[in-house]
Each structure stands twice: as structure tokens, then as C-alpha cells.
A = this chain, B = another copy of it.
Amino acid sequence: MGTVSATTPWKQLLIRALESNSHLKHSSFFQLATVGSDGRPSNRTVVFRGFEENSDKIQINTDTRTRKVEELKQCPFAEICWYFTDSWEQFRINGRVDVIDGSNLDSVKLQLREKSWYDSSIKSRMQYLGPNPGLPCLNERPSNEFFLDPSSGPVAPFCLLIVDPEQVDYLNLKSNQRIMFTFTQNANGENCWNSVRINP
């Protein structure tokens, strides 16, 4: 009924979906759900910032001052819902999230954060200079009035989120096919992905 694979079968589907929808700016946007401190769900649109090199892990940039960072520190799990509006494909990606801010003690992680900062446009970087997101507007200076040296490294509020997928629920609304991919370890302790066709 299911098949087992040492590579990442859903990643191929996702890369193909990104390619076939690449003419749409919003194809790199998805919705990230977390659990709030009150136990209620939270949900917002974020931007895909690529996979971590040689891995299946999904990168997102955010501001340490947003509510999701606080929420992820309490409940480090998220579900991405990524719907491709042209190919009618949906990926629901569930996994643990690593929150990497400037205070991280792991130098490899700090390098990933720095790389993601320099990979962002100057306009994106400017957002982190603005006033505290989510707080009432106090007519502070908008972030575009600040000067940012393109060669200077990440500012304190800049934060990298890395989602490590454990389960991916793939749905194709054109073919009406649905596949559940689950990360497992086999008897030899090797990591692999199990896939099963399920009813849509």
C-alpha cells in the first residue's frame, strides 16, 4: 500500500510546483500556522526563502518582535499550507521550527541567518528597522527614512525560522490525487520517507 524512499519524494513535487507557478509573484507565499500562548491557532502569510542547502528544511525570515516568534518558543511546531493557484496543488507541511535570532550560540546557525540576511533585498532588510510590528502606530519614522549600509550584517530583530518537515500532505485538485508523506526511521535507524495514497 505504501512505498518507502531514502530521498525526499515530496520535495520533487514542490520544486515542480514552484517552477510551473513561477510566473506568479505570490507562488512563493504560503500560510504558516502556529499555536498561540492562549492555545488558539494563529495563521499568517509568509515568504518562502528557499531550502537550507542540501536539505528538505524550509527557510522563512521574520522579525523577532512578531507574535509568531514568541509562540514558536512555547510550541515549536508549525503547519505550512501552500496552495498553488495555477496548478491547483496544495502542500500541507508539518514540522518542528528552529528559531534562529542573533543570540543563538551555534555558529553554523548564525551563518545561516547571516546568509539569509544578505540574500534578502535591501527593501526587505529595511523592514527590520521600522517600529515594533503589531504595536499601535505612534507616527514614528517609517523605516524608509533610515539609511542601511548594504554591506552591514543582520540587525537585532532579524530572525531566521527553519521548518524541519515531518509530514507532508500533498493534494492535486486537477488529478484529484492525494499522497501522505511521513518521515520515519527504518529498522536500521536510517531516515526515510514513507508515502501512501489517501482519499482526497
Q: A197, B137: Cβ atoms under 8 Å?
A: yes
A31 CB, nearest partner CB in chain B, Å:
4
Within 8 Å of chain B (Cβ to Cβ): is A105? no
Q: Which residues of B lie under 8 Å from residue A85 when comparing CB positions?
A: 24, 26, 85
Q: Which residues of B lie under 8 Å from residue A2 when comparing CB positions?
A: 136
Q: B45, A130: Cβ atoms under 8 Å?
A: no
Within 8 Å of chain B (Cβ to Cβ): is A132? yes
CB proximity to B under 8 Å, residues A90-141: 90, 92, 94, 130-137, 140
Within 8 Å of chain B (Cβ to Cβ): is A81? yes
Q: Per-position contact with B for A142-165: 1 when CB-CB < 8 Å, else 0?
A: 000000000000000000000000
Q: Per-position contact with B for A53-90: 1 when CB-CB < 8 Å, else 0?
A: 00000000000000000000001011111010100001
A138 CB, nearest partner CB in chain B, Å:
8
Q: How many of chain A's residues have a CB under 8 angstroms from any CB in B? A: 43
CB closest residue in chain B, given A86: B26
Q: Which residues of B lie under 8 Å from residue A29 when comparing CB positions?
A: 83
Q: Which of B34, B134, B199 contacts A131 (CB 8 A)?
A: B199
13 A-B interface contacts by CB (under 8 A): A24-B85, A31-B31, A31-B33, A39-B75, A40-B77, A40-B94, A41-B42, A44-B92, A135-B198, A136-B199, A137-B197, A137-B198, A140-B199
Known contacts A83-B26, A131-B199, A77 near B136 by CB under 8 Å: no
